[in-house]
Structure 1
Amino acid sequence: MSNLFIFFSLITSLFSAENPQLTIKISNIEKMKGEIIIGIFDKDKNFLKEGSAIKNYTVKVEKNTAFITITDLPKGEYAVTMYHDENSDKECNRNFMGLPKESYAFSNNFKPKFGPPKFKDCKFELIENKTLNIKMIN
């Protein structure tokens, strides 16, 4: 009986591996209003395209640093995008040249120079619990 129990315990543990925990610390928030809108992407295809994030999260802005802990992502490669929706209109407002008027940020603290980043610029591996420190670009 004990061999059977050990066998089922091993099989169960193989299939019930918990998702790693991703904690994101968001710093350099200048205005204490609105919310941070976070998008999680897992592929280069459609990276940064509206509606293409596999998961979206919202963090209410109350201080110049915010935290979110995400536990519903399986192990894999991801990229994080975010913007500070100061006026709570659920969109990243842009100027006449198409540049963001609201603060934004990417995983790996990637700072775009000549256009938007690529998935490879922002990607990271989530295979165990991880904390990302992301600084908003104002």
Structure 2
Amino acid sequence: MQALLPLGLFALLTGQASPAELEIQVQGLRNANGQVRLCLTRNPAHFPDCNGDPAAVKRSLPTRAAASIRLRGVAPGIYALSVIHDENGDGRLNRFMAIPREGFGFSRNPRIRMGPPRFDEVRFQVSGGVVRQAVQMRYLL
């Protein structure tokens, strides 16, 4: 029966929220080098890098195409988003004496202290429809 019903009607009849679309605006990239990598997770233990979280959504795209990113079919829930500007394309956030050399950003744009923010500082609700997150990139070096 599910395959025959539009998602909205299925959600109404079953009490389940339909998948959402997450629109991510990446702001403040300092150049067009490398890749933008994002991690979307519901698991606080795997934030901010998503390592070991099989349910996490990870994407890598050329920096030139990363100003606006759309993720479709996102299940309802509480999420946290982290973004890095992998300028040299080596697949990781490079550091110098524990200070990030490449750009980074998080959902809800929390204040940055020593180390990454906690999951609770960046979490946001996805409940259907279109959800927007504007991520301001930060560069320390």
**Fold shared per TM-score above 0.5:** yes
Say if 1:18 and 1:86 are closer, same or farther in 2 by CA, change over 3 A.
same
Pick the aligned partner of 2:10 from 9, 13, 29: 13
Once superposed, which parts of structure 1, at least 4 consecutive aligned residues long, lie more than 4 Å away?
Answer: none
C-alpha deviation, 1:131, in angstroms: 1.0
C-alpha deviation, 1:50, in angstroms: 5.4
Q: Which has the larger radius of gyration?
A: 1
Alignment partners' CA distance in 2, 1:24 and 1:69? 6
**Does 1:80 find its partner at 2:77?**
no
Q: Name the aligned partner's letter for residue 55 of structure 1.
A: V
C-alpha deviation, 1:9, in angstroms: 5.8
What secondary structure, in the 3-state scheme, does the structure 1 residue paired with 2:134 have?
strand
Q: 5+ unaligned residues in a row in structure 1: which ranges?
A: 1-7
Alignment partners' CA distance in 2, 1:126 and 1:13? 18
Q: Name the aligned partner's letter for residue 101 of structure 1.
A: R
Q: Deviations over 1:101-125 (max 9, x none)?
A: 0000000011321322110000000
Question: Which runs of structure 2 are paired with 1:23-102 in the superposition (5 Å)?
Answer: 23-49=23-49, 51-53=51-53, 54-62=56-64, 66-96=67-97, 98-102=98-102
Q: RMSD in angstroms over aligned alpha carbons?
A: 2.4
Q: Share of identical aligned residues, percent?
A: 22
- Greater share of strand: 2
CA contact (8 A) 2:38 2:84 kept: yes
Alignment partners' CA distance in 1, 2:22 and 2:131? 5
CA contact (8 A) 2:40 2:50 kept: no
C-alpha deviation, 1:55, in angstroms: 1.2
What secondary structure, in the 3-state scheme, does the structure 2 residue paired with 1:81 have?
strand
C-alpha deviation, 1:75, in angstroms: 0.4
The residue that corresponds to 1:132 in the other structure is 133
CA contact (8 A) 1:93 1:102 kept: yes
Q: 5+ unaligned residues in a row in structure 2: which ranges?
A: none
Alignment partners' CA distance in 1, 2:59 and 2:10? 29
Query: Normalization by structure 1: what TM-score?
Result: 0.82
CA contact (8 A) 1:40 1:55 kept: yes
Query: Normalization by structure 2: what TM-score?
Result: 0.80
CA contact (8 A) 2:18 2:76 kept: no
C-alpha deviation, 1:52, in angstroms: 3.5
